[in-house]
């Protein structure tokens, strides 16, 4: 058993802070073997809290060395304070005082990448959620907001660039080659938004004039070798700034906006005030090294972090249970931005696919939690798809229920009411209630209840009276700690279509009851319902469509999302039949109607290529697993492979025509249309390769060597690498390595292509790659590529029947847990789904979880995930 069980924090225990920190002055002496931090905190008792006699309690990591502590200049000795676990307690402090505290840090030994650490020789910080307490002692909680002034001192040659939040106000140098810069941030902020960077960095600079005329310097910093990969992020930043002014009326509020790219980062990026720190994977972009997907991600993440300046920084969270207040809202904002910049329907399809595969799986698993969780052991475990993506869907539903104008008024009111405050999701909803005059108390169940609701829809039609009725029943399965769920309030967007595709009705229904009947009069013929248009609520919807009805919707639905969804429903149904056939030893078959429908789609040159590519993609094995009663990895794999090769073979000529149609020879561009053509072209190539025929290997090889961009090159590489043509596979993998070995991000792709290779011997291959010089077990991107790639993208090998994949993952988790608990806990996710698998694999997975549980000294991060999974 683990020696000490981490304690659980509850939302209901929230207490406002007894002490406030009005000003925080920090001085960092950055040296190679240590960093000294002197913090001067202007502290006063919180007038809103009556119990003034409370001792001062500051949070500070148990491993942090405290060198000196004084109050109003009086040095304290050990008898004046108590230090235990992560807390420093000082009794008998005055009403208002200055606390000075010196701590000694070892950033070069910080492998957890929280607090102050080194990434490729530069100093940087990561403070969200609880990293600041690894820098100094502080009331490290988001409802304590302080004005920061920060001085960085470092060797001038090694660290010519010294950055922190706000504006540089002073600088100088001494005779020993050291220099210093002081930064002042006028906006009060919680400690999680503090940041510093020191390094030898190259800079791309631009500027932006806000609507009200403020000149903002835009600066993106990266290692010198990456300077040519910053233009796209800069454009995205300017687009995002304009968009937030146009759509939300929000302007930037400082004179400098900085982004720094670092290669060692636990997450995607961080919205520190005026000084965003980004994982290189979310900011660097160049046609030769970045795929179309990568470009889209950069655009989305740059916008996301920028939008946080209002939704997160100006108005922040009262406590970490409110995380979705900033994340759900900001994901909704960045999704709408990306939809406006590219194809709206394609963006929606991508987001819903992620939600249906990964968030639904989370919501049905042992770590299921509400959008506003009620408890946690380690907050880092709650940066989840539920808080982010489902949280964004909840905000989207408010947008749908209120309509864009009222929603904008609500957002304006929210920012006006709470500017400079740390608030709750209830405050957000309250602003929406005020502007709309609506009662949203039932709606708030979306924040408090976990699990994915299910809608069961049935209908009836009376030809004599022209009356059509839709009956909707809603329910939500139990989740940990929540046996019974109350009905939700949700928007159900509906269309009614005639047999020939004419729209007889389109509108929004509102569900509030467990069961509701909606009546439509003057309907001329029995309609086919197009339900949950645009995925108007994050639910699972059942309606007993016939194949013919789905084919009609696929052809005619005026809602682009539902056109795609009709095709997906049809594929899922056919695949589920084949999965059963495989399990029962019945020969597999592919419906001729589907083949003909796809043939029609493929021959219709008028269709938007990006949409077409979405329609012709089979649901993933992960999504089929999420939908399965009990997951049978091999049956799912075999059924899907059968369908994929059948569609490849019978439509071979059509795939080739589509390939040729999209292979225009145009020079690379990242506009939505060009990306759409590439995605369809590479999908066609994938189907051609799935025939296993040699001419297509040649075609792929040709594309590999002739393409001028990473999208086409990587698509060709991974198709060849995952094919049975092993010799060519090895040859291209080697060539790719030689060409790109100096590009860290490209090497991540090289690792994940191999980690997800379904051919025999996968485990031996990943073990070999783990020894490869380009692999670095301290770099989270490398770990995600190799371990995440194998466990998440190579189901047949991760779920090998001898349990070797599970043991491999558990070994890694135990090793990584001592080094980087956050990343270890995240990589663990695939094992937590053990209850959903058939008995043999299920027992093997459980066995590995138990083995981890029996290990002494698990981090709180891994302990929480393992113990909750075993419950
Ligand atoms: N707040 C960051 C974002 O969503 C995510 C993040 C969380 C980054 C914790 C680092 C650590 O934009
Ligand atoms: Zn965010």
* Region of residue 190 (left: phi > 0; alpha: psi -120 to 50; beta: else): beta
pLDDT tens sequence across 650-701: 999 999 999 999 999 999 999 999 999 999 999 999 999 999 999 999 999 9
In this structure, are residues 377 and 130 in contact, taking their beta carbons and an 8 Å threshold? no
Number of CB atoms found within 10 A of residue 39's CB: 21
SS3 602: helix
N-to-C CA span, the chain? 15
Pick 5 or 150 by higher pLDDT: 150
Average pLDDT value for the chain: 97
pLDDT (0 to 100) of residue 23: 98
> DSSP assignment of 297-319, as one string?
HHHHHHHHHHHTTTBTTTBEESS
Q: Whose CA is closest to atom 8 on ligand 1? A: 270
**ipTM of model over 0.95:** yes
- The CA 128 to ligand 1 mean position distance, Å, reads 7
> DSSP assignment of 678-691, as one string?
HHHHHHHHHHHHHT
- The CA 330 to ligand 2 mean position distance, Å, reads 6
Q: How far apart are CA 246 and CA 857, in angstroms?
A: 52
Q: How far apart are CA 553 and CA 593, in angstroms?
A: 14
- Helix (H) or strand (E) run with residue 98 in it: strand 96-105
Question: What residues contact residue 431 under an 8 Å CB cut-off, 6+ apart?
Answer: 410, 411, 413, 414, 417
Closest ligand, as measured to the CA of 270: 1
Residue 125 included in any domain: yes
Residue owning tokens 């929000």: 250
Boundary residue ending a domain (171, 200, 229): 200
- The CA 836 to ligand 1 mean position distance, Å, reads 30
The predicted model gives 125-134 an average pLDDT of 98
Q: Whose CA is closest to atom 11 on ligand 1? A: 128
- The CA 812 to ligand 1 mean position distance, Å, reads 24
Residue 414 included in any domain: no
Closest ligand, as measured to the CA of 302: 1
pLDDT tens sequence across 421-432: 999 999 999 999
The predicted model gives 388-415 an average pLDDT of 99
Output the domain CATH number for residue 478: 2.60.40.1840
In this structure, are residues 849 and 866 in contact, taking their beta carbons and an 8 Å threshold? yes
In a mutational test of the pocket of ligand 1, which residue from 383, 386, 780, 825 has the highest number of ligand atoms less than 8 Å from its CB? 383
Residue 822 Cβ contacting ligand 1 at under 6 Å: no
Residue 439 included in any domain: no
**SS3 sequence of 611-628:** HHHHHCCCCCHHHHHHHC
pLDDT tens sequence across 509-532: 999 999 999 999 999 999 999 999
Residue 333 Cβ contacting ligand 1 at under 6 Å: no
In this structure, are residues 23 and 41 in contact, taking their beta carbons and an 8 Å threshold? yes
Quote the tokens at residue 143.
Answer: 């409802």
- The CA 379 to ligand 1 mean position distance, Å, reads 12
Question: Considering its fold, how many domains does the chain have in total?
Answer: 2
Q: Whose CA is closest to atom 3 on ligand 1? A: 270
Output the domain CATH number for residue 194: 2.60.40.1730
Asked if pLDDT for residue 433 goes beyond 50, the answer is yes
Residue 363 Cβ contacting ligand 1 at under 6 Å: no
* Region of residue 211 (left: phi > 0; alpha: psi -120 to 50; beta: else): alpha
In a mutational test of the pocket of ligand 1, which residue from 269, 305, 324, 382 has the highest number of ligand atoms less than 8 Å from its CB? 269
Residue 122 Cβ contacting ligand 1 at under 6 Å: no
pLDDT (0 to 100) of residue 2: 46
Q: Whose CA is closest to atom 5 on ligand 1? A: 270
Q: Which domain holds residue 63?
A: 19-200
Boundary residue ending a domain (500, 518, 539): 539
pLDDT (0 to 100) of residue 856: 83
- The CA 620 to ligand 2 mean position distance, Å, reads 27
In a mutational test of the pocket of ligand 1, which residue from 140, 268, 301 has the highest number of ligand atoms less than 8 Å from its CB? 268
Which residues of 331-439 form beta strands (DSSP E)? Answer: 375-376, 422-423
Residue 195 Cβ contacting ligand 1 at under 6 Å: no
Residue 113 Cβ contacting ligand 1 at under 6 Å: no
Residue 686 included in any domain: no
Residue 305 Cβ contacting ligand 1 at under 6 Å: yes
Residue 267 Cβ contacting ligand 1 at under 6 Å: yes
Would you call 128 a catalytic residue per the annotation? no
Asked if pLDDT for residue 1 goes beyond 50, the answer is no
Angle, helix 323-341 to helix 425-436, in steps of 10 degrees: 60
pLDDT (0 to 100) of residue 368: 98
The predicted model gives 806-815 an average pLDDT of 98
pLDDT (0 to 100) of residue 5: 87
Q: Which of 114, 128, 305, 626 is catalytic?
A: 305
Residue 270 Cβ contacting ligand 1 at under 6 Å: yes
For residue 129, say if its preceding peptide bond is cis, omega within 30 degrees of 0: yes
The predicted model gives 330-353 an average pLDDT of 98
Counting from 1 in the atom list of ligand 1, the atom nearest the Cα of 308 is: 12
Which residues sit opposite 75 in a β-bridge?
A: 70
Q: How far apart are CA 741 and CA 735, in angstroms?
A: 10
Residue 334 Cβ contacting ligand 1 at under 6 Å: no
- The CA 308 to ligand 2 mean position distance, Å, reads 7
Degrees (nearest 5) of the Cα angle 528, 514, 362? 85
Residue 426 included in any domain: no
Residue 819 included in any domain: no
Boundary residue ending a domain (523, 539, 555): 539
Closest ligand, as measured to the CA of 333: 2
Residue 29 included in any domain: yes
826-854 in b/e form (b: 16+ CB < 10 A) is: bbbbbbbbbebbbeebbebbbebbeebbe
Task: Give the phi and the psi of residue 146 in degrees, each rounded to 5.
Answer: -140, 155
Question: What residues contact residue 543 under an 8 Å CB cut-off, 6+ apart?
Answer: 456, 457, 458, 459, 529, 531
pLDDT (0 to 100) of residue 54: 86
Q: Whose CA is closest to atom 9 on ligand 1? A: 128
Query: What percentage of the chain carries pLDDT values higher than 90?
Result: 98
Task: Give the phi and the psi of residue 89 in degrees, each rounded to 5.
Answer: -120, 130
Percent helix, strand and coil across the chain, each rounded to 5?
A: 45, 25, 30
Q: Whose CA is closest to atom 2 on ligand 1? A: 270
Residue 307 Cβ contacting ligand 1 at under 6 Å: no
Residue 612 Cβ contacting ligand 1 at under 6 Å: no
pLDDT tens sequence across 718-748: 999 999 999 999 999 999 999 999 999 999 9
CA max distance for the chain: 96
Residue 754 included in any domain: no
Asked if pLDDT for residue 537 goes beyond 80, the answer is yes
pLDDT (0 to 100) of residue 3: 52
């Amino acid at each position: 058993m683990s020696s000490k069980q981490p304690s659980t924090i509850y939302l209901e225990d929230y207490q406002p802070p007894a002490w406030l920190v009005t000003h925080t002055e920090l001085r960092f002496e950055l040296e190679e073997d240590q960093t000294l931090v002197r913090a001067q905190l202007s502290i006063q008792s919180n007038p809103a809290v009556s119990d003034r006699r409370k001792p001062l309690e500051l949070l500070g990591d148990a491993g942090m060395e405290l060198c000196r502590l004084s109050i109003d200049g009086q040095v304290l000795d050990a008898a004046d304070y108590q230090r235990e676990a992560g807390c420093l307690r000082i009794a008998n402090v005055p009403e208002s005082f200055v606390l000075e505290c010196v701590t000694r840090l070892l950033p070069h030994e910080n492998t957890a990448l929280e607090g102050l650490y080194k990434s490729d020789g530069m100093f940087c910080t990561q403070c969200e959620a609880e990293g600041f307490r690894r820098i100094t002692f502080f009331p490290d909680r988001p409802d304590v907001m302080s004005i920061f002034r920060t001085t960085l001192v470092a060797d001038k040659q090694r660290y010519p660039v010294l950055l922190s939040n706000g504006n540089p106000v002073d600088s100088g140098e001494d005779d020993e080659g050291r220099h210093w810069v002081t930064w002042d941030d006028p906006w009060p902020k919680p400690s999680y938004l503090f940041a510093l960077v020191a390094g030898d960095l190259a800079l791309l600079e631009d500027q932006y004039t806000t609507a009200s005329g403020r000149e903002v310097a835009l600066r993106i910093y990266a290692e010198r070798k990456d300077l040519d990969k910053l233009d796209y992020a800069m454009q995205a930043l300017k687009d995002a700034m304009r968009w937030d002014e146009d759509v939300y009326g929000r302007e930037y509020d400082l004179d400098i906006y900085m982004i720094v790219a670092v290669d060692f980062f636990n997450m995607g990026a961080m919205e520190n005030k005026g000084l965003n720190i980004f994982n290189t994977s979310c900011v660097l972009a160049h046609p030769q090294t970045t795929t179309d997907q990568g470009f889209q991600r950069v655009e989305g993440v740059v916008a996301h972090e920028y939008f946080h300046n209002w939704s997160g920084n100006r108005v922040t969270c009262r406590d970490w249970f409110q995380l979705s207040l900033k994340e759900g809202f900001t994901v909704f904002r960045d999704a709408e931005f990306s939809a406006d910049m590219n194809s709206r329907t394609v963006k929606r399809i991508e987001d819903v696919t992620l939600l249906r595969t990964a968030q639904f799986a989370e919501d049905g698993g042992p770590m299921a939690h509400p959008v506003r969780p009620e408890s946690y052991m380690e907050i880092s475990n709650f940066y989840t798809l539920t808080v982010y993506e489902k949280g964004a869907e909840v905000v989207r539903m408010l947008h749908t229920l209120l309509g864009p104008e009222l929603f904008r008024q609500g957002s304006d009111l929210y920012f006006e009411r709470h500017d400079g405050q740390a608030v709750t999701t209830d405050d957000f909803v309250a602003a929406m209630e005020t502007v709309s005059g609506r009662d949203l108390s039932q709606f708030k169940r979306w924040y408090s209840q976990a699990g994915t609701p299910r809608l069961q829809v049935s209908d009836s039609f009376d030809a004599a009276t022209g009356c059509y009725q839709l009956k909707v029943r809603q329910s939500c399965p139990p989740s940990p700690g929540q046996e019974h769920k109350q009905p939700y309030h949700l928007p159900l967007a509906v269309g009614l279509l005639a047999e020939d595709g004419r729209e007889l009705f389109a509108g929004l229904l509102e569900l509030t009851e467990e069961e509701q009947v909606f009546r439509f009069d003057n309907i001329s013929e029995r309609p086919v319902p197009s339900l949950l248009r645009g995925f108007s609520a994050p639910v699972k919807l059942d309606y007993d469509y016939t194949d013919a009805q789905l084919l009609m919707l696929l052809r005619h639905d005026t809602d682009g999302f539902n056109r795609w969804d009709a095709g997906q429903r049809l594929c899922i149904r056919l695949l589920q039949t084949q999965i059963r056939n495989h399990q029962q030893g019945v020969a597999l078959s592919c419906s001729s109607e589907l083949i003909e429908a796809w043939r029609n789609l493929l021959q219709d040159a008028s269709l938007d290529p990006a949409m077409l590519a979405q329609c012709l993609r089979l649901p993933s094995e992960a999504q089929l697993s999420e939908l399965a009663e009990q997951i049978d990895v091999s049956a799912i794999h075999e059924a899907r492979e059968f369908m994929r090769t059948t569609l490849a073979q019978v439509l071979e000529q059509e795939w080739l025509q589509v390939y040729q149609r999209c292979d225009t020879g145009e020079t690379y561009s990242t506009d939505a249309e060009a990306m759409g053509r590439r995605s369809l072209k590479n999908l066609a190539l994938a189907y051609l390769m799935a025939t296993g025929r040699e001419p297509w290997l040649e075609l792929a090889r040709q594309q590999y060597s002739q393409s001028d961009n990473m999208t086409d090159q990587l698509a060709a590489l991974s198709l060849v690498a995952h094919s049975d043509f092993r010799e060519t596979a090895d040859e291209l993998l080697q060539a790719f390595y030689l060409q790109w070995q100096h590009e860290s991000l490209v090497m991540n792709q090289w690792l994940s292509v191999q980690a997800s290779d379904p051919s025999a011997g996968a485990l031996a291959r990943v073990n070999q790659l783990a020894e490869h010089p380009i692999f670095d077990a301290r770099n989270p991107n490398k770990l995600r590529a190799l371990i995440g790639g194998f466990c998440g993208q190579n189901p047949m090998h991760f779920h090998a029947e001898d349990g070797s994949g599970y043991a491999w993952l558990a070994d890694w988790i135990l090793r990584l847990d001592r080094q980087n608990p956050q990343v270890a806990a995240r990589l663990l996710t695939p094992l937590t789904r053990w209850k959903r698998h058939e008995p043999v694999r299920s027992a093997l997975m459980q066995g590995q979880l138990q083995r981890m549980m029996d290990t002494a000294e698990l981090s709180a991060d891994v302990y929480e995930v393992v113990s909750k999974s075993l419950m």
